[in-house]
Amino acid sequence: MAEQRVLELALATPGVDAAGRPVRIPLTVESPGAGEPDLRTDHMLINIGPQHPATHGVLRLVVELDGEVVVRVIPHIGYLHSGFEKLGEYRQYNQIIPLTDRTDYLSAPANNVAFALAAEKLMGIEITERCKVLRVIACELSRIISHLVWAGTTAIDIGAFTVFLWMFEQRERVYNLIEAWTGARLTTSLTRIGGLMADVPDGWTERLREWCRAFPKTLEEVDRMLLRNGIWLGRTQDVGVMTAAEAIAYSLSGPMLRASGVAFDVRKDQPYLGYETYDFEVPVGQHGDVYDRYLVRMEEMRQSVRILLQALDRLPDGPINASDPRVILPSKRKAMSNMESMIYHFKQVMEGVPAPAGEVYFPVENPKGELGTYLVSDGTAKPVRWRIRPPSFLNIAALPKMAEGHLLSDLIAINASVDIVMGEIDR
Amino acid sequence: MPPNPSVATLRARFGASVGRSAVILGDTIVFAAADQAHEIFTWLRDDAGERYDYLVDVTAVEYRDRELPLEVVYQLRSLPRNVDLRVKIELRKDAELVVDSVVDLWPGANWLEREVYDMFGVRFRGHPDLRRLLMWETYDEGYPLRKDFPLRGRFSRSEQVRRALAADLRAHYSLEELSIAEAYAALPADVRARLAAERGRETAGEGLG
């Protein structure tokens, strides 16, 4: 029979009772007898989120624990569900673009581009060369700011605060550039069907070039801080491993898929916006753990800088909008002085731009992974169905697979490594 | 663009189970019969010449024309061959909306199918955990992405508030969580009965949908 003992445990922050003596909690401990101590306990159920900084938004995780080991994870999503897809069915194509800002709000310009590309393919609109290059710049800037947020918040979750400050400083610089271009920092609504809402202002390309020269130094500094850091390595290597076969079976995409050793990048394999003409490499991991996801995203930022510099070199002069009066609004001056322009202006605003009956699935490589836009049209100016294939929705769906069997603290690291944004998961 | 050759091989192998096909804007679309779909997907995934190993997306489309059937849409990709194929299953709206789940073929289909169930009310036979995903489990207004569902929801705002205030907060824990907490047995009998009834109505689909 196990003998009962009573221990006293000092509180971490000792209190005192009415008599002024330190308060101690009596603990009853069952002695297991000889040999190994029996540490088995009942499973415990804990709830993380939806309001918790480590869940990166309103994700709620119900975790069943055996001691500190995660036995089961049940994610709950939907706290940020806004019904974007339903709203889209009641809006004209150009009116949907502000909704795309709010899906993956950490990389709004890339979402704007993704939707515009799908709608243009559906309508058969050819965009100008300058527009294509500016959109590439928007996509790669989005990739960088999204990865900066990811690196900063993941480092905080694992206990390194400095990285967050350095990364967010660079993110501010990019946001200043985006603000100068679009007038908005977060919700850019950069694109229009057939073009862009604005051209870049004077001197903007020089500012971007200057930033591209300075930025890689921050990446080097962060690498130096983390890659020889025993805590960082211990908490990321072999944590949350997905093999290549598992990553494919679970439909992971983007850096999550590539960190597992599957070299699929939409920009390379199903190119759009002329990505096949840019010289860049796709980093691929070997182990599929948190550490490899870090390496892949850091290298993607360097490759994005390469693409940005090439885009700046080749940025041609010319119009940013296609010359198609069906979809491009005439200038305000013309609309107020020229009868035909006024009619086109009126019809576009009041009736919208009808898309021919048909459907299109357009995948783009967003920072979080493959963002697919599936549009179905019945010939009217509003889509029958606007489906977003959200990359972080599918990536976080594999969280139970990745986290079960790990420690609770590893669950936080794994969840951070997925790079989720709830606006996109819940839509 | 020529149609994806998988359509011809599919038709040779499965005959009448493979319906019409089309190439729209370069994407190949093929219609499959609901009762044969799982076999077709298994073959598409495993055949050495097809190897559609990656499930890109599962979604559904309901057209504004009420006569047209509801479509469940599977976007498949073969990573080794870098080829995409869109397979559609048509479901008549006057019959039961049910197809076979493909979670056993692609585990990534789990949440995708739950979302289609949540938003369209399509049931996936053989799904391990077919619960609402974006809406809460006791959501009673039907299936939001159906065309007969009004944009602002089925209930008035005051009715929504009334229901929210009257709701038992314990109902926000799913049966699964309550059972792993082993707290389910400890709940009052009336709460247990009500949860079971709500759960039963969810699965029987007798909501307003």
Rounded Cα distance, A263 and A284, in Å? 6
Residues in chain B with CB shorter than 8 Å from the CB of A397 are 108, 110-111
**Which range among A45-54, A102-111, A155-164, A354-363 shows the weakest confidence by mean pLDDT?**
A45-54
| A394/B62 CB distance under 8 A | no
As a whole number of Å, the CA-based R_g of chain A is 26
User: What is the CATH superfamily name and number for domain A84-406?
Assistant: Cytochrome-c3 Hydrogenase, chain B (1.10.645.10)
At A191-204, the pLDDT tens digits run: 999 899 989 999 99
- Contact of B86 with chain A, judged by CB distance below 8 Å, is answered with yes
Q: What pLDDT, on the 0 to 100 scale, is given for residue A395?
A: 92
CATH fold of B6-134 reads Beta Polymerase; domain 2 (3.30.460)
- Contact of A85 with chain B, judged by CB distance below 8 Å, is answered with yes
Residue B26 neighbours by CB distance under 10 Å: 9
At A203-214, the pLDDT tens digits run: 999 999 999 999
Rounded Cα distance, A145 and B139, in Å? 37
Rounded Cα distance, B147 and A90, in Å? 11
Q: What pLDDT, on the 0 to 100 scale, is given for residue A376?
A: 94
At A37-94, the pLDDT tens digits run: 566 667 778 888 788 877 788 888 888 888 888 888 888 898 899 999 999 999 999 9
The pair of three-digit structure tokens given for residue A267, joined into one six-digit string: 């920009």
ipTM over 0.95: no
Rounded Cα distance, B131 and A75, in Å? 12
Helix extents (H) in A196-289: 204-227, 230-236, 244-249, 255-259, 266-269
Continuous segment of H or E residues that includes residue A298: helix A290-314
Q: At what angle do helices A290-314 and A408-418 cross, to 10 degrees?
A: 20
Return the domain boundaries, chain B: 6-134, 152-209
pLDDT more than 90, % of chain A: 55
- Contact of B62 with chain A, judged by CB distance below 8 Å, is answered with yes
- Contact of A404 with chain B, judged by CB distance below 8 Å, is answered with no
Assess whether pLDDT exceeds 80 at residue B176.
no
CB B112 within 8 A of CB B57: yes
Continuous segment of H or E residues that includes residue B203: helix B189-204
Return the domain boundaries, chain A: 1-39, 84-406
| A78/B108 CB distance under 8 A | no
Rounded Cα distance, A158 and A273, in Å? 37
Residue A226 identity (one-letter amino acid)? L
DSSP calls for B90-133: EE-TTS--EEE--TTT-TTHHHHHHHHHHHH--EEET-TT---S
Place of tokens 């130096």: A224
Please give, rounded to a whole number of angstroms, the shortest distance from the CA of A179 to a CA of chain B. Answer: 33
At B59-70, the pLDDT tens digits run: 999 999 888 999
Q: What pLDDT, on the 0 to 100 scale, is given for residue B17?
A: 83
Rounded Cα distance, A227 and A230, in Å? 8
pLDDT more than 70, % of chain A: 90
- Contact of B106 with chain A, judged by CB distance below 8 Å, is answered with yes
In a mutagenesis test of the A interface, which of B79, B83, B118, B184 is the best target, namely the one with the most A β-carbons within 10 Å? B79
Give chain B's mean pLDDT.
83
